[in-house]
Structure formats: structure tokens, C-alpha cells
Amino acid sequence: MLKVRVIPTLLWKEFGLVKGVGFDSWRRVGPVLPSIKVYNKREVDELVLVDILANSANEELDYVSVADFSQDCFVPFSVGGGIRNPNQVQRLLSAGADKVTINTAAFENPDLISAIARQHGVQCVVGSVDVRYTGNKAWRCFSHSGKTDTRKDVGEHVRQLEASGAGEILITSIDRDGTMSGYDLELIETVVNAVKIPVIASGGAGSYQDMVDAVLKTGASAVAAASIFHFTHLTPSGAKEVMQAAGIPIRKNYIKK
């Protein structure tokens, strides 16, 4: 049976990990490489890495850091932030990334995702979508790290990403980001129902129960979280224990023989 994944999201800026609230007020939380080593050693299911500097500056991507991360990561990881063309994707995959997350570029260049899917397969393109609630069960997509209002409705956009060839959707509520007040379950359910590809819930996890709810109440294939793992004593393996007790299939670590 396919397991529900618990995915720590690591936002990095030069050599440090950071975390904000509502995509703002960044706090430094420690160095990147040791965190990846610890998660790898603890056999985490998967990692999502986002270079927030590449997102905001228009600089070339940090391939050297990605190559360093991959040296110590024997579980799948995706890399995002500032990706705008297929050549960059090729270089990130060569550096060891398993998937790339595309957000802003999907609005600016709708053909990018299909180009990546054609060349590398749908499994390596994650359509990342950041939204704000606009009332009446509607959410609008924001690009450029939550700064630009694209005026696009979330349902319409995720269906378009799926049609272009995204293999997975990472849906983040900007309103809940960093607040640890729980996922926006209505949002996640809307996205899960809009597409037939796996959906990763993101934004707002504050307790293990939030993760259980995201899976049981919305049908998400995976749950991503950052603050909860950075700022509290809670861990991915702790989350999986509670999820298992709630009847959710989770991956057990390999016992060496």
C-alpha cells in the first residue's frame, strides 16, 4: 500500500535555513547541510528545498549547494526557487535533485512545465502553488514568493498545471504559512478534488493532529511542514507514529539485518 509522506520543507538563503510567517519576517534557523544530514540519518520520507534568494533576486541558481546537499541525501528531494528555463532544470537534476518545483515561471511561461515533462518525465515536475484566501471559498494564486497577485483562481490554475504535465501539486496557504494554526483544509480539499495527480498539503501545520486531519479530511497524498520541525520538539517520525495510530498508512524504517 502506498504510504502518506511527511515532508520537511527547508527554505535556504545562502548557507542558512530560514523560516518566515506569511512569506515574510524571515528568521534564521540554522545551517543547511547538517539539517539535511540529520533528516537523512533519520530516514525522512522526502525533502522539499527552496532557495528563497534565487526567488527574489534574479540571480543564477545555486547549483553548487544543490550538489553538496545531494551528497548526503539518500531520500528523494525537490529543489525550487527561481527556476525559469529547461536548461536550469537539466543542471539541477545533474547536480542531484530528483524533482524541481515550479511556481512563478508557470505563470510567465506556461510552456515550461510541458517542456520539462517531455524531456525528463512528469515525475520530476512539481507544480508549486501559493494562494491567499479571498472569501467565499475562493483562493487566488500569488507568484514571486507571494508578492504578485496573478488574479488566477486556484482550481483553474492547478488543473492547468496538471494538463501541462506536472506530476504533483504542492499547495501552500500563505495565510497559514508559519502560523502553526493548522492547514487550510478547505483549500487542500478543493485542490485534491480539482486534479488527479498527488497533492502535497503545505502551510500551517502546528501539531501532529493537523497532519492527521490534512490526510483524513482532504485526501492529500503527503503533508509538508517547516515551522513545526524548526521551532518545536515535534519530528517527522513523531508525526508518523500519531498518523499510524489514526489509521494512516506510513512508511516504517528499514531494520538492518
Sign of the CA dihedral running 169, 85, 97, 182? negative
**Pairing outcome for strands 16-21 and 24-31:** antiparallel
Residues 213-242 that bind another protein (CB under 8 A): 221-222
Least separation, in Å, of the C-beta of 242 and another protein? 18
Report d(CA 84, CA 104) in Å as an integer: 8
Alpha helices (H) in 42-123, listed in sequence order: 52-56, 63-71, 86-94, 104-108, 111-120
Q: How many CB atoms lie within 10 A of CB 84?
A: 16
Q: Judged by CB, which is closer to another protein: 214, or 222?
A: 222
Q: Which of 82, 127, 146, 167 binds another protein (CB under 8 A)?
A: 167
What does DSSP assign to residue 48? E
Q: Which of 61, 79, 100, 124 binds another protein (CB under 8 A)?
A: 124
Give 170's strand partners.
128, 200
Q: Which of 15, 59, 121, 163 binds another protein (CB under 8 A)?
A: 121
The yes or no reply on residue 1 touching another protein (CB under 8 A) is yes
Q: Judged by CB, which is closer to another protein: 28, or 252?
A: 252
Residue ranges binding another protein (CB under 8 A): 1-5, 40, 43, 45-46, 67, 70-71, 74-76, 93-98, 119-124, 167-168, 196-198, 221-222, 251-257
